[in-house]
């Protein structure tokens, strides 16, 4: 039974399905950086992260219908001008910059899409010196809890392993590129 659960969990997290994407901008970003780590979550998948049955986490995700999580290695030609264009592209899809903060060495920008006073979508961009993390959310998270959601996803044992493997693979590839240049 445990093997079946792990297999299902792996398929849900790893299988890319473009139909799950909430924004054209996120789709274009993923197309440009097709080797990016890409994970997809529905509400039930997010609940599976809550192994300790933490009521605070359940409250945190209650208004999320689905979410796409991308990790872009910034050494793959992603510059500050690209980031500015990315934000501009989200703005062109009616996303409005609502909050900027810094948490655990990452800069966070939160963009909301509202219709008739109700939040329909949310994009969280977490940016550090090596990676860009994108949470493209259909639904919403309370603004004061955005960093908590990011930390929970980042600290999840299974997802953490995938992120570390992704980073390690890119470190190995970068080493090979340096060797091949010489």
Domain-by-domain residue ranges, the chain? Answer: 2-181
Rounded alpha-carbon distances, angstroms, from residue 48 to 10, 36, 90, 95, 152: 12, 23, 29, 29, 12
In tens, the pLDDT along 118-151 reads: 888 999 999 998 899 999 999 888 888 888 877 7
Task: For residue 60, give the H/E element and its range.
Answer: helix 55-61
Higher-pLDDT residue of 102, 172: 102
Contact 19, 46 (CB under 8 A): no
The three-point CA angle 164-167-171 to 5° equals 135
Query: Above 70 in pLDDT, residue 76?
Result: no
pLDDT for 10:
46
Helix (H, G, I), strand (E, B) or coil at 120: strand
| Alpha-carbon distances of 135 from 2, 6, 67, 113, 182, rounded to whole Å | 29, 23, 7, 14, 38
Specify which residues 40 forms β-bridges with.
Answer: 68
Q: How many CB atoms lie within 10 A of CB 165?
A: 11
**Predicted TM-score of the model (pTM):** 0.73
């Amino acid at each position: 039974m445990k093997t079946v659960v792990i297999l299902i969990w792996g398929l849900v997290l790893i299988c890319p399905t473009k139909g799950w994407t909430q924004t054209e901008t996120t789709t274009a970003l993923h197309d440009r950086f097709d080797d990016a780590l890409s994970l997809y979550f529905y509400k039930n998948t997010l609940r599976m992260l809550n192994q300790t049955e933490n009521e605070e986490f359940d409250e945190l995700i209650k208004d999320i219908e689905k979410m796409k999580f991308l990790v872009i290695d910034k050494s793959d030609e992603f510059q500050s001008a690209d980031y500015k264009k990315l934000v501009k592209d989200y703005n062109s899809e009616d996303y409005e910059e609502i909050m900027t903060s810094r948490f655990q060495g990452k800069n966070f920008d939160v963009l909301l899409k509202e219709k008739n006073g109700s939040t329909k979508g949310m994009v969280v961009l977490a940016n550090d010196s090596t990676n860009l993390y994108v949470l493209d959310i259909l639904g919403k998270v309370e603004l004061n809890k955005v960093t908590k959601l990011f930390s929970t996803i980042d600290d999840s044992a299974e997802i953490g392993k995938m992120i570390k493997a992704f980073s390690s693979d890119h470190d190995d590839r970068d080493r090979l590129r340096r060797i091949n240049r010489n």
